[in-house]
Amino acid sequence: MTIEVRVPTLGESVTEATVATWFKKPGDAVAVDEMLCELETDKVTVEVPAPAAGVLGEIVAGEGETVGVDALLATLQAGEGAAPAPAAQAAPAKAASAPASGGASVDVMVPTLGESVTEATVSTWFKAVGDTVAQDEMLCELETDKVSVEVPAPVAGVLTEIAAPEGSTVDAAAKLAVIAAGEGAAAAPAPAAAAPASAKDVADAPSARKLMAEKGMDPAAVQGSGRDGRVMKEDVIAALNKPAAKPAAPAAPRAPVPAEDAAREERIKMTRLRATIARRLKDAQNNAAILTTYNEVDMTETMALRSQYKDEFEKRHGVRLGFMSFFTKACCAALKEVPEVNAEIDGDEIVYKNFVHMGIAAGTPQGLVVPVIRDADQMGFAEIEAAIAEKGRRARDGKLSMAEMQGGTFTISNGGVYGSLMSSPILNPPQSGILGMHKIQQRPMVINGEIVARPMMYLALSYDHRIVDGKGAVTFLVKVKEALEDPRRLLMDL
């Protein structure tokens, strides 16, 4: 039987990926769940496993090609050894919908995916039609942007139907499969449910066609973000909201390369991650009036306090005492003094946040992510350190949910861990402020008329000048500086 291998894991608002590497070639025997290829998308490297044991047939999307949601990657001839006869492909079609006998049918539905996440991609099925499953045994895995969701069996029984094959995109609360409750016999052979999905590769989304018809829009005027230019609903909405603009000036032609250098150049296609980072950074610069102001802080007192209590702190609270909790507490105190740094612009209104949801930028193998510590202004040092450690662990493992990375009101970025002495961080929209920490370095300072070596750190506050004036930005940095140079102020709410 021929099984289609389709694109998994794109996630919310991500409609395509790039085939990075094929680990198998046509004719190779593969085991179930053995990795076939690797895709690259925004902050995520996606491994595509074999849905069944068999022989890899045709590779439809070669390395370097861009593929859309549910696009066909390859075909797999299921079974041991050589591919079965073609006639076997159509035989089970009628039996596919027949439920197994011996129990009531229970639908397996897509679970709640998180705030603002409306769809997911079926990444992997761990069970095949006819397999016996235990209650709470994992059936399949769904993936959205940066999130993997495991779907357990709601009851014990036999898997009789897979309604959403691997690579398909499913909405929240959509049906994934059907289980015949009870210990029944094996169900009918696997359905060919994925076969009609190929129409999605070229047709515009139905919701997009409906909206374009309602608005009287020319489909040719809407740029699609899906595979082969497929127009999605969000593309239509973006086109409706986009103000009329003058045609952009053509990009300056690349200077010709001297003939003697051309042979020594290497041209590599930009990865999905790097392309997305480039686009988002440019969007942030285009949409906000970003300005950066600087100061420096003497870390002597903070380092001494940390050194004095770090061992006792770890014994009592079970978490290490780092510098991030001091900076988080200092920023929370400063945000109360300068609330516009903790605000955002919404149209012609300014939204002031009477709470602090602190974003802590974290570097991961997949790229930069910003998990959010909610109500950080209500937390103590131990709670902040525990939250940072837990979020950092989940970020490195790729287990952060979308909800954990949304809703931040201010961000702290620590370039000092990489040795940065000075930088200008870029805003994390729609936030209006981001603090850049840097390397602590011994520098000569004049203290009471004498030159002494002190552990100094440069601080950088990038802010949206549309909402934050220079006075407010400088005041904020001074408040952070004062709190860190006399950390006892943090304990007394001064």
Buried b (16+ CB within 10 A) or exposed e, 223-248: ebbbbeebbbbbbbeebeeeeeeeee
Buried b (16+ CB within 10 A) or exposed e, 451-487: eeebbbbbbbbbbbeebbeeebbebbbbbbbebbeeb
Greatest alpha-carbon span in the chain:
93
Neighbours of 81 (CB within 10 A): 9
What single-letter DSSP state applies at residue 85? P
For residue 232, what are the CA distances in angstroms to 205, 235, 236, 402? 5, 5, 7, 21
Is residue 357 part of the annotated active site? The answer reads no
Q: How far apart are CA 415 and CA 281, in angstroms?
A: 17
Q: From the candidates 33, 131, 317, 465, which is the catalytic residue?
A: 465
Angle of the 381-396 helix axis to the 300-317 helix axis, nearest 10: 80
Q: From the candidates 261, 469, 486, 493, which is the catalytic residue?
A: 469
What is the token pair recorded at 202?
Answer: 């070229």
Q: How far apart are CA 430 and CA 284, in angstroms?
A: 9
| Under 8 Å between Cβ of 460 and 439 | no
Q: How far apart are CA 315 and CA 309, in angstroms?
A: 10
Residue tagged 């008329």 (tokens): 449
Is residue 465 part of the annotated active site? The answer reads yes
So which residues are the catalytic ones? Answer: 465, 469
